[in-house]
Amino acid sequence: MKFQTISTQPFSDQKPGTSGLRKRVKVFQHPHYLENFVQSIFDTLEIPANATLTLGGDGRYYNRVAIQTIIKIAAANGFAKVMVGQGGILSTPAASHVIRKYQTFGGIILSASHNPGGPDNDFGIKYNTTNGGPAPEKITEAIFAKSKTIAQYRLADIPDMDIDTLGTQKVNGFTVEVIDPVADYADLMESLFDFDAIRALFKTGFRMKFDAMHAVTGPYAKEVFLNRLGADASSVMNCEASEDFGGGHPDPNLTYAHDLVEIMYGDDAPDFGAASDGDGDRNMILGKHFFVTPSDSLALIAANARIVKGYSGGIAGVARSMPTSAAVDKVAQSLDIPCYETPTGWKFFGNLMDAGKVTLCGEESFGTGSSHVREKDGLWAVLLWLNILAIKRQSVEQIVMRHWLQFGRNVYSRHDYEDIPTDEANAVIQHLRDSMPGLVGKTFGQYKVATCDDFSYTDPIDGSVSTKQGLRVLFEDGSRIVYRLSGTGTEGATLRIYLEAFEPDSAKHGLDAQVLLQEMIQIALQLSQLKEKTGREKPTVIT
Ligand code: G16
């Protein structure tokens, strides 16, 4: 393969965050910026002979340009083949599946996930390893180290490839195969869930509304819900993908998925509602006038997995990120299976799944998944819920209420303060770090502080240690407050406050989480001095 070697200079800011490198599109458009990062990835890997790379993204602005550049750099760095989703499209879970199914030498996924897209918004890139999961920290650190010393990158002398026509093209011995982005993924879903039962549920007049938020899951949702499950066309909305997600913020939560929330809390609400994010790995689950927190959703899925075809043999174990509520821990205990608590970031689940220690994983940040792929999977979660509903024939609210009756309710909420100047956010964290040792044993209202710490994790499989993963104030009754800075934003800092209180009294289960957590919210503000240090009166997003 003939290629050019192009001289370049390092950029100082190519440190991957919670989930890859995310920056404004304008940053990625700086000459050599994308090229430097892709070359740094390839310099970190030992690319074997005849290697294939999976490549695709969520279709946001700059996706198509980046795909052409990456194909050329891959060809110049010794890849024999690139498998690219048609139009440059692959949802994150679909990309993970393609890597695993075709055993490619990992993949590059282009997405800034739930961050807005368009020329003035965000773009992102990450490398997933051969197991289909996000590269672990030791690889992302090595990529970052390379990016700081890079002096040149290689670009193959080949023309732009046709990424819109299915099939194989060859140029100078290098192959580009354009694949259907949906088919393999839809087949996988059909193998895990009882599509007959779900079809039968729709025939009873059961109504759902899935909101693709103008993002990547549009074509996947149409294929799965409409074509394969026979749902009525009105069951899906915002399924036309656009480069700027229709000008919206493709984050499936109560604030940003407001179109769907209005419908689900309206007079003629369907029985079931769900939304997914920019790249299709997150999910939000709603019933008629009812919101299921991601933490409860994980617990419910774990408790009911056995009734679902793909999990009828039982689950090996579960894992949740530290800020996710302990609802799933109670289920694990009752099933007598292990429950792991990891730092935030899906990459921490990969080792546990590869070792067969866990089947289901989840995070409070609207991510749920299983070992069918190595990413969280939005549509998978929606289908799992549909499968449970198809078998139980109860409403979403009934299922959740009965679960709480059995296990108690881990009342939960997350308050986000977005776009705080970084120094102010750091001042809040520093203040907490300094004051935490003095909090132990103190009582705030009905809560007495048992311990405080900065969460650290030792991976049980490879022994790697991750420190400073979130500040925890743990109360004697098992309630807790967690403070953490987001690792996925691109402007300023986002401070997240996670609030959790255990409520065994079923008479209170029907009450709103914000009401039940009122005292805890005040304590969280008092301990952090957030208002004093940032001037913020209220959170940007409450979920
Ligand atoms: C990414 C990771 C998730 C993680 C989330 C946390 O999500 O893949 O595993 O929970 O970030 O975000 P933050 O650091 O902002 O709290 P995604 O969907 O952005 O890839």
Region 6-26: what's the mean pLDDT? 94
Give the pairing type, strands 367-370 and 290-292.
unpaired
Please report, for residues 115, 419, 491, 533, the alpha-carbon distance to residue 422 in angstroms, rounded to integers and kept in the order given. Answer: 18, 8, 9, 12
- The tokens describing 348, both together, are 């921490």
Measure 19 CA to ligand 1 centroid, in angstroms.
6
**Residue of the CA atom closest to atom 1 of ligand 1:** 19
Same domain? For 104 and 50 the reply is: yes
Does position 152 have pLDDT exceeding 90, yes or no?
A: yes
Q: Which helix (H) or strand (E) is 367 found in, with range?
A: strand 367-370
Same domain as 435, residue 375: no
Kindly report the CATH number assigned to the domain that includes residue 440.
3.30.310.50
For residue 218, give the CATH number of its domain: 3.40.120.10
Let me know the angle formed at the C-alpha of 111 by 284 and 373, rounded to the nearest 5 degrees: 65
Residues 416 and 482 in one domain: yes
Contact 7, 31 (CB under 8 A): no
Q: Which of 113, 295, 466, 528 is catalytic?
A: 113
Residue 394 Cβ contacting ligand 1 at under 6 Å: no
Provide the token pair at 354. 């590869």
Determine contact, residues 156/2, Cβ cutoff 8 Å: yes
Decide which of 181, 200, 225 is a domain's last residue. Answer: 181
| 3-class state of residue 438 by DSSP | helix
Residue at token pair 């490549």: 55
Tell me, what's the pLDDT at 275?
A: 98
Pocket lining: 529 vs ligand 1, CB cutoff 6 Å:
no
SS3 content of the chain, % helix, strand, coil (to 5): 35, 25, 40
Residue 488 confidence (pLDDT) above 90: no
Active site (annotated) includes residue 242? no
Residue type for position 47: I
The span from the CA of 347 to the CA of 40, in Å, is 19
Q: How confident is the model at residue 490 (pLDDT cuts 50, 70, 90)?
A: confident
- The pLDDT value recorded for residue 489 is 78
- pLDDT tens per residue, range 181-233: 999 999 999 999 999 999 999 999 999 999 999 999 999 999 999 999 999 99
The answer to whether residues 91 and 78 belong to one domain is: yes
Cα separation of 278 and 512, whole Å?
29
- Containing 283, the helix (H) or strand (E) segment is strand 283-287
How many CB atoms are located within 10 Å of the residue 215 CB? 32
- For the chain, give the percent of residues with pLDDT over 90: 96
Indicate if ligand 1 lies below 6 Å from the C-beta of 283: no
Closest-CA residue to 1 (of 98, 95, 59, 78)? 78
55 lies in the same domain as 148: yes
Query: Using an 8 Å Cβ cutoff, are 22 and 123 in contact?
Result: yes
Q: At which residue do the structure tokens 């991601």 appear? A: 294
Ligand 1 neighbourhood includes 77 CB (under 6 angstroms): no
Percent of the chain with pLDDT over 70: 100
Which tokens go with 36? 């430097």
Tell me how far apart the 2 most distant CA atoms of the chain are, in Å.
72
Q: What's the one-letter identity of residue 192?
A: L
Q: Whose CA is nearest to atom 4 of ligand 1?
A: 345
- Mean predicted confidence (pLDDT) in 9-15: 95
Q: Tell me, yes or no, whether 161 and 192 share the same domain.
A: no
CA distances (Å), 465 to each of 127, 136, 448, 458, in order?
A: 21, 12, 30, 4
Pair 168, 36 in one domain: yes
CA of 202 to the centre of ligand 1 (A): 33
Residue type for position 150: I
Distance 365 CA to ligand 1 centre (A): 7
- Ligand 1: which of 19, 320, 471 to mutate, judged by most atoms within 8 Å of the beta carbon? 19
The total of structural domains in the chain comes to 3
Q: Please give the structure tokens belonging to residue 98.
A: 């393609």
DSSP 31-64: TTHHHHHHHHHHHHS-PPTT-EEEEEE---TTHH
Ligand 1 pocket member 344 (CB < 6 A): yes
pLDDT at 19 over 90: no
| Same-domain pairing of 165 and 25 | yes
CA 390–ligand 1 middle distance (angstroms): 30
20-30: per-residue pLDDT in tens?
999 999 999 99
Same-domain pairing of 349 and 249: yes
- For the Cβ of 329 lying below 6 angstroms from any atom of ligand 1, the answer is no
Secondary structure of residue 493 in the 3-state scheme: strand
Ligand 1 pocket check for 91: Cβ under 6 Å: no
CA of 461 from ligand 1 middle (Å) equals 22
Q: Are residues 272 and 363 in the same domain?
A: yes
At 433, list the tokens: 């770090």
Residue whose Cα lies nearest atom 3 of ligand 1: it is 345
Range of the domain at 349: 185-407
Q: How confident is the model at residue 18 (pLDDT cuts 50, 70, 90)?
A: confident
User: Would you say residue 360 has pLDDT above 90?
Assistant: yes
172 φψ region: left (φ > 0), alpha (ψ -120 to 50), beta (else): left
Mutate to test the pocket of ligand 1, among 284, 320, 344 (most ligand atoms within 8 A of CB): 344
**253 pocket-lining for ligand 1 (C-beta < 6 Å):** no
Q: What is the pLDDT of residue 17?
A: 87
Give the pLDDT score at 199.
Answer: 98
479 and 398, same structural domain?
no
Which pLDDT score is estimated for 487? Answer: 84
- Quote the mean pLDDT of the chain: 96
Distance CA 100, CA 105 (A): 9
Cβ neighbourhood burial of 286 (10 Å; 0-12, 13-18, 19+): buried
Inter-helix orientation angle 422-439/518-528, to 10°:
100
Q: Which of 65-74, 87-96, 329-338, 507-516 has the lowest mean pLDDT?
A: 507-516
The best mutation among 22, 324, 486, 488 to test binding of ligand 1, ranked by most ligand atoms within 8 Å of the C-beta, falls on 488
Tell me how far the alpha carbon of residue 25 lies from the centroid of ligand 1, in angstroms.
19
Residue where a domain terminates, one of 347, 378, 407: 407
- Span from the CA of 271 to the centroid of ligand 1 (angstroms): 29
> Do residues 443 and 532 both lie within one domain?
yes
Going by their DSSP bridges, the two strands 152-156 and 167-171 should be labelled as unpaired
Domain end among 181, 212, 240: 181
